[in-house]
Amino acid sequence: MLRRNGKPRSCEPCRISKIRCDHGTPTCEKCKTRGFTEQCFYHPAPMTRPAGVPRKKPERRRRASNARQNATRDDESRPSLSLSPTVLRNEIGVPSIVNAWPTPPESATRTTQTTSDPRSFYLGSTSYASVFAHEQPLPNALHEQLSASAHGTPTIQASGLEGTRHCRMSVGSFVISKCEQFTFLERLVRTYFKINQGSSMIGPLITNALPQMRRDIEYITSNADSQYPLLAEITKNSSQPLKVPPTMLPSEFHTLFTGPSLRWEAIGLMMALAASCAQFSPPDDPVFTLENGDRVNKDEFITDMIHATNDCITLCQVHGAVNDIMVWLLYNNMLVQSNWYGDNYHGVWRRTGDVISALHAEGIHCENAVVNPCDEPLFLRESRRRIYAAVYRTDKSLADFFGRPPMMHQRYSDRPLPLDLDDEVATSDDHAMVNEVISKLDPDGWALDGQIRPASWIRLRAALGRVKERFLEASLTGKKDVFMIQEIEAIREQHRTNWEASPAHLRYELYDHEAVWRTLKPRAALRMIGAYLDHLHAGFQIQRLFRRHTQNALPALLEIAMNLLSTALIFNKNRNHEYNVQRHFATLVLFYCLPSAGVLALELRRCTLENIPLPNTVSRADIIRNLSVLISCVEWAIVPDDGNHRLCSELNKMIALVLDEVLNYQPPSNEGQPDGTPAVLAGVGAGFFDLPMIDGMEPIPTESEDFLTWLDNANWNNTVGPGRF
């Protein structure tokens, strides 16, 4: 495309940035280098003003003396810089800018945006795909990111609608409109705490607020004509600190964020919990039936809740809201996004950073160093211990999953693990009863009655996170010296002793693997097998690190990988799981099963191509059998609406390709023996089954590699009829 002077046109990013464009199509090299692939296009008339835009009149030049005389007057009329960007934009009258680049015409879009390469984010040495990246680059399909707008329209936040000094009222109205059926939300929130066996929050602190919040929402929606002052009051509350008096009872906690003290972060938290419950409920569940008989579309509801909670977070962040409820909101919003868009979605990693930033800003990581213990009521102290342990464990899991440095470090915190208490005990107003229960715990904070509680899983997984932090520090630094083997041995020993010190009733390997689903409730069994897989995966990653320094670690690595794979397949053996239990299979496969399966498949391939035996810790037949079962399970057991469905399918295809290559491998034929006997007949008698020869077929070999080749090449059409047998 040429300009009127005969020279080629520059793309819009290069033209606006005033840099030399190489005029490449559909995307120039400069934009590829700068990461502007999606914005690169060639405008046919870049200097043409849109219709209806008046031409700017030239201003008269002012003398320097007049400018100095008016400087003080200009400063007095200039808005305060302490106001938020939203307030400045709305009060000064500057229009919101949605996209800095001019919108290309439809013809230009069709010709220049035909292809787009997926953006690849950094995946380190411990990531879910690292085992497949040793011999060749990863395919682009593993880097594809599901757009946040793929399931619905953008939020009101992006529409550029005007607001007031206190908040953008259109955003607040949008959030309240999604809460009009609050009875439905309340039912979902109560169901969430009923089915969730390891919640990071103490349930009664949330459910006690539901009746009052329902009345608050009904009052706001019934006063549609005077709604803006009410929304402004909610925003004002969110901009104020949330102080919990030391003498406050747990039953009074909800008064700090409901009624006259209603906050955006509390409303967003309820919507995030409702969305999480909906994600783990089947589409035909009766919970989606309203009181008037109408049915709620599950996918549309989850999409609306994600957008509404994002708007609540934006409103709170603009006005500097930092408190415990804000941390709960951010954490649960991150969980909902990971289940909806997939764990490899970059927004999950980014939201985790928001959670950790708010957690540190509120001082939740400190219990004795900065905060006076007398200033924290027991219910608040236990709540902060739980959320800190949950976020800490999540940070280590995602750091391991992506192969990136963790964002939280235990050395900067003195917040201990939560006590092994029931939710009803932690939120009881009877201090004498609470102190009596605490006195019966062991010195480490574990209950001695053998009961499984939500806090039990949080304690167990957080203890594993401490081992992961040490392992990640050794793995991601890339050091290779004589002391690294000693450090790895120390990490492995700490990992072993920590697990053996865990209560026996929480350790999956001490149960009968077939009977555990019958003796325990399915959700408790799910938590138990998840904790055990987390333990095995930590040992798997430690052994992978050990193998970098010595090949002697390979047999133990394959043994752990085989244990991981077989344990995950036992979970899927019972196909009559509840929907909310089966829904977790994709996460278990992605985090624990596929990496171990990749190691087994690639080692099987290497031994097959090099014609060497596998280590005696694993069996070739077991590997092939389990890999075949895994490939089949992933194809049918992961529900299509799971956010991890696409990534699991792509990794599953890679394992299937490796297994196909192994099964279809044809070893090079021997030229023959020195005495002239053909190689294929040289070992008859000693190297074959003691079976009669079948006319028209080669003899059956005993070696597994040769048998697979024989099985592939066997010509069953040339055999004689069954009468000969």
Whole-angstrom distance, CA of residue 248 vs CA of residue 262: 18
DSSP structure class, residue 503: -
Whole-angstrom distance, CA of residue 536 vs CA of residue 495: 10
Q: What is the pLDDT of residues 20-76, one digit of tens each?
A: 888 888 888 888 888 788 788 888 777 666 555 555 555 555 444 454 444 444 444
CB 40 within 8 A of CB 13: yes
Instruction: Using pLDDT thresholds of 50, 70 and 90, give the confidence band for residue 503.
Output: very high
Q: How high is the pLDDT of residue 666?
A: 84
- Residue 602 included in any domain: no
- Residue 186 included in any domain: no
- Residue 509 included in any domain: no
Instruction: Select from 115, 148, 175 the last residue of a domain.
Output: 115
Domain encompassing residue 435? 363-497
Helix (H, G, I), strand (E, B) or coil at 8: strand
Q: How high is the pLDDT of residue 406?
A: 93
Q: Whose CA is closest to 205, among 280, 266, 278, 276?
A: 266
Instruction: Using pLDDT thresholds of 50, 70 and 90, give the confidence band for residue 672.
Output: very low
Q: What is the pLDDT of residues 447-497, one digit of tens each?
A: 999 899 999 999 999 999 999 999 899 888 767 666 788 888 999 999 999
Q: How high is the pLDDT of residue 386?
A: 96
Q: Whose CA is closest to 582, among 638, 641, 647?
A: 638
Q: Whose CA is closest to 270, among 249, 254, 281, 282?
A: 254
- Residue 711 included in any domain: yes
Q: How high is the pLDDT of residue 92?
A: 35
- Residue 420 included in any domain: yes
Pick the more confident residue, 369 or 436: 436
675: Cβ–Cβ under 8 A, 6 or more apart, which residues? none
Instruction: Using pLDDT thresholds of 50, 70 and 90, give the confidence band for residue 124.
Output: low
Number of neighbouring beta carbons within 10 Å of residue 513: 15
Q: How many domains does the chain have?
A: 3
Between 84-98, 280-294, 623-637, 639-653, the lowest mean confidence (pLDDT) is in 84-98
Whole-angstrom distance, CA of residue 725 vs CA of residue 723: 5
Over the chain, what is the mean pLDDT? 78
Instruction: Tell me how far apart the 2 most distant CA atoms of the chain are, in Å.
Output: 117
Instruction: Select from 497, 514, 535 the last residue of a domain.
Output: 497
CATH of the domain at 2: 4.10.240
- Residue 704 included in any domain: yes
Q: Whose CA is closest to 50, among 112, 111, 105, 106?
A: 105
CB 202 within 8 A of CB 377: no
Pick the more confident residue, 625 or 92: 625
- Residue 510 included in any domain: no
240: Cβ–Cβ under 8 A, 6 or more apart, which residues? none
Q: How high is the pLDDT of residue 553?
A: 87
DSSP labels for 562-624?
A: HHHHHHHHHHTT-TT--HHHHTTHHHHIIIIIHHHHHHHHHHHHHHHHHT-PPPTTS-HHHHH
- Residue 637 included in any domain: no
Q: How high is the pLDDT of residue 369?
A: 63
Q: Whose CA is closest to 573, among 562, 585, 583, 563?
A: 585
